[in-house]
Amino acid sequence: MTTTSTEGPFITDHPLDGLRMPGEWERHARCWMAWPCRPETWPDEEAFDAACASYAEVARSIAGFEPVTMVCDPADVAEASLACGGGVQILPLPISDSWIRDTGPSFVLGDGGRMAGVHWRFNAWGGNYPNCDKDRQVGRLLLEQAGVPLVEAPLVLEGGAFHVDGQGTLITTEQCLLNPNRNPGLNREEIEKELRLHLGVSTILWLGEGYEQDETDGHVDEIACFVRPGTVLMLTTDDPDDPNHRVFQDNFDRLRLARDARGRELEIIPIRQPARREQKGVRLTMSYTNLYIANGGIVMPAFEDPADDEAYRTVRKAFPDREVVQIPALDIVRGGGGIHCITQQQPAP
């Protein structure tokens, strides 16, 4: 059962009465980010410094569309403030790492402007990383600072593991949510029940596997994202020798046969992945679906790859009413994630 806090501004019952997680294209109150504080996440000190600069560029780009709050370790306030500039609010909080999509809350809305934040259990992506204790509480602290009621969910889950369409449909992967390193005591039906309960969805679309060698065990934001209700942007490759080819084709076939919560067939927009690139023998998860949808804009990645231009055109066509900003993201990817991974939208009530 769900537990809730009884102190401060937190609610004391479960939001079963109409709260839902909005689609990411719906209006935002702000974007949350977290400043890099864990140098060992990146290959070396130079890569860490480059990642900090890239985080700041993402923050400044999003701030051109909506307010941005950068959570940072108290020791890093001066550095983060200087790098991000006056257009980004800095909030000192204890953090272990900088992937706020996965450690922060998922915001849900209801009628009359009611809002709550779902605080998932966090176990460092299936126990892949040590010393992440602070990140188990950052969602709770963030909600307290924002004055948003908290709902404690009994599910180990990261925000990058799912996408919603705001109309009752959720997309995820079996590789991640059914992985025994997350919720070994729960089966598919029990996990679906918790997703429906906490996010206000009714239909779960299961893809199979995620991006090759993705250290998050197949987060869906590395391979697909909702563009709007009924439309999914999906990563593809035409190289039959690429291990992603089989995975992407299987996922495409699953979505082609699927129906969303309102019974619609899905429009699938293919977007070609960049060329393979490795770091210490491990493939980098470079994905154009790992982007941020802002108020009136899109902040998407570039990877110094010939596919960047084609991806930009595809995203512009997919989001014709938004300004698309493409920024270098390879330095972020070297740490294991992308632009979507380092951001978390708070919807406007």
Q: Which of 52, 84, 225, 341 is catalytic?
A: 341
Q: What amino acid occupies position 41?
A: T
- The neighbouring-strand residues paired with 205 are 171
Task: Confirm whether 176 is a catalytic residue.
Answer: no
CA separation (Å) from 347 to 30, 43, 54, 162, 322?
Answer: 7, 35, 24, 17, 17
Partners of residue 234 on adjacent β-strands = 224, 270
The Cα–Cα gap between 268 and 300 comes to: 19
Going by the DSSP 8-state scheme, the letter that residue 259 receives in this structure is B
Does an H or E element contain 102, and which? helix 100-103
**Token couple for 216:** 């998050």
Q: For 335, phi and psi rounded to 5 degrees?
A: -95, -5
Q: Which of 292, 326, 333 is nearest to 310 (CA)?
A: 326
Q: Which residues contact 67 (CB under 8 A, 6 or more apart)?
A: 29, 30, 31, 89
Inter-residue long-range contacts of 143-147, CB under 8 Å, 24+ positions, other chains counted: 143/10, 143/105, 143/117, 143/119, 144/8, 144/9, 145/91, 145/93, 146/117, 146/346, 147/9
Dihedral sign (CA 149, 346, 178, 255):
positive
Query: At residue 113, what are phi and psi to the nearest 5 degrees?
Result: 80, 10
The phi and psi torsions of 321 (rounded to 5 degrees) equal -100, 10
Q: Which residues are part of the catalytic machinery?
A: 341
